């Protein structure tokens, strides 16, 4: 069956998501994320696209991007992806695909939905439980809005909030931190094993042996917190903790 053709945006604005093949990790270290941002900036100069938001998670990437009238977005994404994968494979001495072949995309036709996607991307780490505040997420473009922009074109975005720059920044920060139920690209986020281990470490569990030797009541309290965490499955908890999946399933 042929693939369904992508929808084209009258505004040339898109929300795209690039993810690892089989949801595998695409950023092993912070250096990898730094490299991807350098690649994004490099091809921004060559392909003339504009970026209004980004978020780098361990196994996927979100971009709010406006394609150039001279080059289709698909070609720009191919340039970015190919360059990063070449470098990643060289660094880790591997071969083969890293990204899922077909990136996901949705068109953005209105100011209202543009702002929704902007907030959705910036709140991605917060909703995944990887940040306590939208403004403390290191690997999103929120840092560029609040300091010195490098990749992001911030001026058009601030003007959507107010012509007065100081007022615009204030309203922007209010909007970015507002709780919501935004759903974009119909994507169900799943935490990687490394992200689950980071969360366990925040709960005071530095290794699975410590968890296995805890008092059952205290151990179960930790497991219940894991179960409540968005993006973690019972099977994943069992694999990481060494606790039987049947035990985990019974906990409420």
Q: In the chain, what are the domains?
A: 13-177 (3.30.70.1290), 193-250 (no CATH)
Element (H, E) at 62: strand 60-66
pLDDT on residue 74: 92
Average of pLDDT values for 118-136? 91
Q: Is the pLDDT of residue 65 over 90?
A: yes
Average of pLDDT values for 198-213? 82
pLDDT on residue 1: 41
Q: Is residue 4 very low, low, confident or very high in pLDDT (cuts 50, 70, 90)?
A: low
Average of pLDDT values for 61-86? 94
Return the closest-CA partner of residue 196 out of 142, 163, 241: 241
Q: Is residue 11 very low, low, confident or very high in pLDDT (cuts 50, 70, 90)?
A: very high
Average of pLDDT values for 33-46? 95
Q: Is the pLDDT of residue 67 over 90?
A: yes
Return the closest-CA partner of residue 71 out of 51, 52, 43, 109: 43
**Percent of the chain at pLDDT above 90?**
56
Q: Are 140 and 74 in contact (CB under 8 A)?
A: no
Q: Is residue 189 very low, low, confident or very high in pLDDT (cuts 50, 70, 90)?
A: low
**Whole-angstrom Cα distance, residue 25 to residue 238?**
20
Q: Is the pLDDT of residue 236 over 50?
A: yes
Average of pLDDT values for 35-49? 94
pLDDT on residue 27: 95
């Amino acid at each position: 069956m042929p693939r369904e053709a992508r929808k084209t945006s009258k505004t040339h604005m898109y929300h795209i998501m690039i993810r690892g093949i089989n949801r595998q990790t695409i950023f092993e270290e912070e250096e990898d994320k730094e490299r991807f941002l350098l690649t994004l900036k490099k091809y921004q100069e060559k392909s003339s696209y504009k970026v209004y938001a980004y978020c780098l998670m361990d196994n996927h990437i979100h971009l709010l991007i406006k394609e150039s009238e001279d080059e289709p977005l698909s070609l720009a994404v191919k340039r970015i992806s190919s360059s990063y994968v070449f470098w990643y494979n060289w660094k880790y001495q591997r071969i083969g695909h890293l990204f899922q072949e077909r990136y996901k995309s949705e068109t953005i036709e209105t100011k209202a939905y543009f702002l929704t996607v902007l907030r959705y991307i910036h709140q991605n780490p917060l909703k995944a439980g990887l940040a306590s505040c939208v403004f403390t997420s290191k690997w999103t473009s929120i840092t560029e809005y609040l300091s010195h922009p490098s990749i992001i074109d911030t001026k058009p975005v601030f003007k959507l909030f107010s012509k007065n720059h100081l007022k615009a920044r204030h309203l922007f920060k209010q909007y970015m931190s507002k709780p919501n139920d935004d759903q974009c690209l119909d994507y169900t986020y799943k935490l990687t094993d490394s992200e689950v281990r980071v969360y366990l470490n925040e709960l005071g569990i530095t290794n699975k042996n410590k968890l296995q030797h805890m008092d059952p009541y205290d151990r179960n309290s930790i497991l219940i917190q894991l179960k409540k965490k968005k993006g973690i499955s019972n099977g994943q908890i069992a694999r990481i903790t060494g606790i039987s999946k049947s035990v985990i399933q019974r906990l409420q």
